[in-house]
Amino acid sequence: MTTSAPALSETVVDSHCHLQSLTDSQREVALEDARSRGVGGFLIPALRLEEADEILALCHRDKDVWCALGVHPHEASSWTGGHQKALAGLVADPKVVAVGECGLDFFYDLSDRRAQQRALREQWEVALDSELPVVVHNRDSNEVMLDLLREPCFEGLEGDFHSFAGGLEMAKFLIGRDFYLGFSGMVTFNKAENVREVLPYLPLGRVLVETDTPYLAPEPFRGQPNSPGHVVEVARRVASELDLKYEELCRLSTRNFYRLFAKAGES
């Protein structure tokens, strides 16, 4: 699943931004602003399969936009027997570089927990069959998530645990399995020591940065709708925590993005 990445400069990639949640005019303004700030790529994760056509249209419009397709745990109760086959067909599109956003969320419990686990398992199976990474959502579900990851059938799974806030022990397990961790605006929050504490243990080759637009705007924009241009603030804080120059963090996180999401370097 490796490929050579495009030539890298001092640009940074927003590895998780829900651009489909913005209106057409908001999206164009947000993308223009982000590019002017040095953001060189954007990954849109789906929340439900019904928005796949819309997301793919957005991706095919711009060379620097890609997507993950799948079903968010909040929507897992809508997962049916036909979804797995449909997803397997959709991910063949060259702009689909991952499966997701999929995972578990036991904080809100908007879908039955058994339904969440079924949807997650079947999406991971599609990812493995398609040789694609996954974009994983994990909230208050560490124990069950770890049990699933320990199953032999998921041994070769690769992916990004986005907006990571699962704590140091979870991070150490994921690092041992060569997963990537995505850091969002939470890394800038004063009380988010549980996010920052994992950075000293994380290999530089496993760091990704994201906005999770329109959520989790970083300081000094906290409380406002987030935008992909704010990945710059996230990257600056991660660089500071790792004692790196901002430009170094941009290069390594962008390199990591193209290593994990290899299809992005081909489309």
The predicted-structure confidence for 41-80, as pLDDT tens digits, reads as follows 999 999 999 999 999 999 999 999 999 999 999 999 999 9
Asked if 195 contacts 226 with a C-beta cutoff of 8 angstroms, the reply is no
pLDDT, tens digit, 9 for 90 and up, residues 124-182: 999 999 999 999 999 999 999 999 999 999 999 999 999 999 999 999 999 999 999 99
Query: Pick from 6, 42, 12: which is nearest to 248 by CA?
Result: 12
Residue ranges of E strands in 8-118: 12-14, 39-45, 65-69, 96-105
Query: Pick from 102, 170, 176, 111: which is nearest to 133 by CA?
Result: 102
Q: How confident is the model at residue 40 (pLDDT cuts 50, 70, 90)?
A: very high
Asked if 14 contacts 211 with a C-beta cutoff of 8 angstroms, the reply is yes
Asked if 13 contacts 257 with a C-beta cutoff of 8 angstroms, the reply is yes
- The whole-chain average pLDDT of the chain stands at 95
List domains and CATH numbers for the chain.
Answer: 12-265 (3.20.20.140)
The whole-angstrom separation of Cα 102 and Cα 116 is 9
Asked if 4 contacts 266 with a C-beta cutoff of 8 angstroms, the reply is no
Asked if 94 contacts 263 with a C-beta cutoff of 8 angstroms, the reply is yes
Q: Residue 190, exposed/middle/buried by CB under 10 A (0-12, 13-18, 19+)?
A: exposed
Q: How many CB atoms lie within 10 A of CB 13?
A: 29
Rg (CA), the chain: 17
Q: Kindly list the distances between the CA atom of residue 99 and the CA atoms of 193, 232, 237, in Å, as whole numbers in the listed order.
A: 29, 25, 28
The whole-angstrom separation of Cα 111 and Cα 96 is 25
The whole-angstrom separation of Cα 179 and Cα 181 is 7
Query: Pick from 181, 187, 241, 238: which is nearest to 216 by CA?
Result: 187
Asked if 263 contacts 132 with a C-beta cutoff of 8 angstroms, the reply is yes
Q: How confident is the model at residue 81 (pLDDT cuts 50, 70, 90)?
A: confident
Does this model's pTM top 0.85? yes
The whole-angstrom separation of Cα 111 and Cα 204 is 35
pLDDT, tens digit, 9 for 90 and up, residues 183-211: 999 999 999 999 999 999 999 999 999 99
Both tokens of 151, joined, read 């199953």
